[in-house]
Homo-oligomer: A and B are copies of this chain.
Amino acid sequence: MHDIRLVGFDGDDTLWRSEDYYRAAEKRYEEIIGRYIDLHDAGTLRHLLEVERRNLKVFGYGVKGMTLSMIEAAIELTEARISARDLQQVVDIGRDTLAHPVELLDGIRDAVEAVAARWQVVLVTKGDLFHQEDKIARSGLADLFPRIEIVSEKDPPTYARVLAEFGIAPEQFVMVGNSLRSDIEPVVRLGGWGVHIPYALTWAHEADHGLAEAHPRVRTVASAAELPEAITRIAAGTAA
């Protein structure tokens, strides 16, 4: 038996589709760059990822930071030949990505309802405060999450601070998410539990993690429908 008191849910690509919109944004970005250079030689998206990574410390995560990095990367890659009109199109990519519809993943509402009926739940999501709040409002899930934590980095100190605010020990906490790096590894490092629900797409930056396969405090589920059962088994102390 484990005394589970709080279940955290990630937002992007756990509750709702997100990475697809970033990928679509990258595709539009590549199209614009293709007007200036031969895409076959350019490594356009590898270059964009480099620019995003070097800017993370100043711009943080989220669409606005991505858009500023795209503008910078486009100027760099075209050696400043890109026109102002095309750069406006890059700004528009950012605007459209911020305004994309919020599509819940299959079965997620029922799964969160079932979990929330038994445990206290919290949404722990990373990125632009404004964009995340807007997505929560538009998701129709706000009523299920009385507490929402929007954080700038998902690392052990951040989760420790959230748990301290709830007065919960790490071993009483289960985090549900699609990213081993951001949702599962830091929580497990603190002594908590993770339920990994893989998403088809993972941002290159998030694929980078240091968790061994088959960790005893990590479960993997194939769909939202399996979530309540996975958490019930953790609480019951049933083997994975």
**Beyond the given A58-B99, A60-B128, A65-B130, could you list 10 further A-B residue pairs with CB under 8 A, ordered by the A residue number?**
A58-B95, A59-B98, A61-B130, A67-B68, A75-B87, A83-B84, A87-B87, A128-B128, A128-B129, A147-B165
A interface residues (Cβ-Cβ under 8 A, vs B): 55, 58-62, 64-65, 67-68, 71-72, 74-75, 78, 80-85, 87-88, 91, 94-95, 98-99, 128-131, 133, 147, 150-152, 165
With both beta carbons as reference points, the residue of chain B lying nearest to A92 in the complex is identified as: B72
Most buried by B among A55, A60, A61, A151: A60
Q: A129 contacts B75, CB within 8 Å?
A: no
Q: Is the CB of B71 within 8 A of A87?
A: yes
Cα(A58)–Cα(B97), bound, Å: 10
A/B interface sample: 17 pairs, CB < 8 A? A58-B95, A60-B128, A60-B130, A64-B65, A64-B68, A68-B68, A68-B94, A71-B87, A71-B88, A72-B88, A75-B84, A78-B84, A81-B84, A83-B84, A128-B128, A129-B151, A129-B152
CA distance A74 to B133 in the complex (A): 29
How many copies of this chain are found per oligomer? Answer: 2
Q: How far is the CB of A162 from chain B (nearest CB, A)?
A: 12
Q: Which of B65, B83, B131 lies in contact with A60, CB distance below 8 A?
A: B131
Query: Which B residue sits closest to A78, measured CB to CB?
Result: B84
Given contacts A130-B152, A152-B130, A152-B133, contact A88 B75 (CB under 8 A): yes
CA of A82 to CA of B80, assembled, Å = 11
How far, in angstroms, from A128 to B87 measured CA to CA in the complex? 23
